[in-house]
């Protein structure tokens, strides 16, 4: 039995608290929102973010962040990506040398173009940082529906240790050494999911969705390989797998926000209606920044940015994507 601290009591942090508690571990959940903690203590259910999911009564809840860090074998950092740096700063004084922190959020910091694990390492140099990602909507994980994810770590022993902490008969965990590829796939798929949602809002069909998923993973892979990620990662669970589920599911806040934008709402109106952090909005500029830095062509990402931040009508963005210069899909070996 391990001691697990969950930093962040949103839908994903709450779902993972149930996973590890059901696995027999001691779990403490922290939130900065006092009313959220009081609700969890009283109801053993997150009625706002994960309604209908009953949480094990032995989970401890606290607003004191040190109580979810000190003495813990593993800390799971589950705050939305825009708050990764500020939360890491809060955590740093209480993290012991070599303590494992597992980042489960998905994003790239706009100003620095750093991945979230890089941010954590910068703010908490004492920590050993790992990541957990994959096609895993909290609503389904909380209900115990079969789900498969990947844990990435620098050291094999850490990855296999975390595999044992999280894995059970409905939550299968693979291991990987490609932390960078895992994080890029998780962050950039949210931008493509916005595009897929916008297409849905415009009334496009399954053909369009398939095209955006396929060409979207091509964009992500091009960038990821240049940055040092592994091709297998982008064709796996945290690449194409996560992209499919985020583009296709109504659990996806990015897709839902995109639908509203495609129907004519502004980015701000869409985010307000979704009522949760739409991480693709925060990752879109970062994705565009990475594309420029590494001189990689990412036309879908570019058009999403133009729709979100430059007032380009969604219908015009779709037309401009369709009328781009003629291309080969793959490298060619024509017989001339």
Catalytic positions, please?
189
CA distances from 230 to 29, 90, 120, 197, 294 (A): 34, 33, 22, 28, 16
CB atoms within 10 A of CB 236: 20
Q: Based on C-alpha coordinates, what's the Rg of the chain? A: 20
Which stretches within 23-155 are classed as H helix? 34-43, 84-91, 116-123, 138-142
Give the residue among 299, 234, 304 at the shortest CA–CA distance from 270: 304
CB atoms within 10 A of CB 189: 33
CB 179 within 8 A of CB 131: yes
CB 239 within 8 A of CB 233: yes
CB 15 within 8 A of CB 53: yes
Which stretches within the chain are classed as H helix? 11-22, 34-43, 84-91, 116-123, 138-142, 156-166, 179-202, 206-227, 231-234, 242-248, 253-262, 267-274, 279-294, 299-309, 314-322
């Amino acid at each position: 039995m391990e001691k697990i601290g969950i930093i962040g009591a949103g839908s994903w942090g709450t779902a993972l608290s149930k996973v590890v508690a059901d696995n027999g571990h001691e779990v403490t959940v922290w939130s900065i929102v006092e009313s959220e903690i009081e609700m969890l203590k009283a109801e053993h259910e997150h009625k706002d973010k994960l309604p209908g999911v009953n949480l094990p009564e032995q989970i401890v809840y606290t607003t004191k962040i040190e109580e979810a860090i000190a003495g813990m074998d593993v800390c799971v950092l589950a705050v939305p990506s825009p708050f990764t740096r500020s939360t890491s700063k809060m955590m740093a004084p209480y993290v012991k040398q070599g303590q494992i922190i597992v980042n489960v959020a998905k994003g790239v910091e706009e100003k620095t173009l750093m991945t979230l694990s890089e941010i954590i390492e910068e703010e908490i140099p004492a920590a050993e940082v790992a990541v957990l990602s994959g096609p895993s909507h909290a609503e389904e994980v909380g209900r115990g529906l079969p789900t498969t994810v990947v844990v990435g770590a620098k050291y094999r022993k850490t990855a296999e240790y975390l595999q044992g902490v999280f894995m059970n008969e409905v939550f299968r965990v693979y291991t990987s050494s490609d932390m960078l590829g895992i994080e890029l796939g998780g962050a950039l798929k949210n931008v493509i999911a916005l595009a897929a949602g916008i297409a849905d809002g415009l009334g496009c069909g399954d053909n369009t969705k398939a095209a955006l998923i396929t060409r979207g993973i091509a964009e992500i892979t091009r960038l990821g390989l240049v940055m040092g990620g592994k091709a297998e990662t982008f064709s796996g669970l945290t690449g194409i797998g996560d992209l499919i589920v985020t583009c296709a599911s109504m659990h996806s806040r990015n897709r839902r926000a995109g639908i509203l934008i495609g129907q004519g709402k502004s980015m701000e109106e869409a985010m307000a209606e979704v009522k949760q952090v739409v991480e693709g909005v925060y990752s879109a500029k970062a994705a565009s920044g990475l594309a420029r830095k590494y001189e990689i062509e990412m036309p879908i990402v570019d058009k999403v940015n133009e729709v979100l931040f430059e007032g380009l009508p969604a219908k015009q963005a779709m037309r401009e994507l369709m009328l781009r210069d003629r291309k080969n899909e793959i490298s060619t070996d024509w017989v001339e």
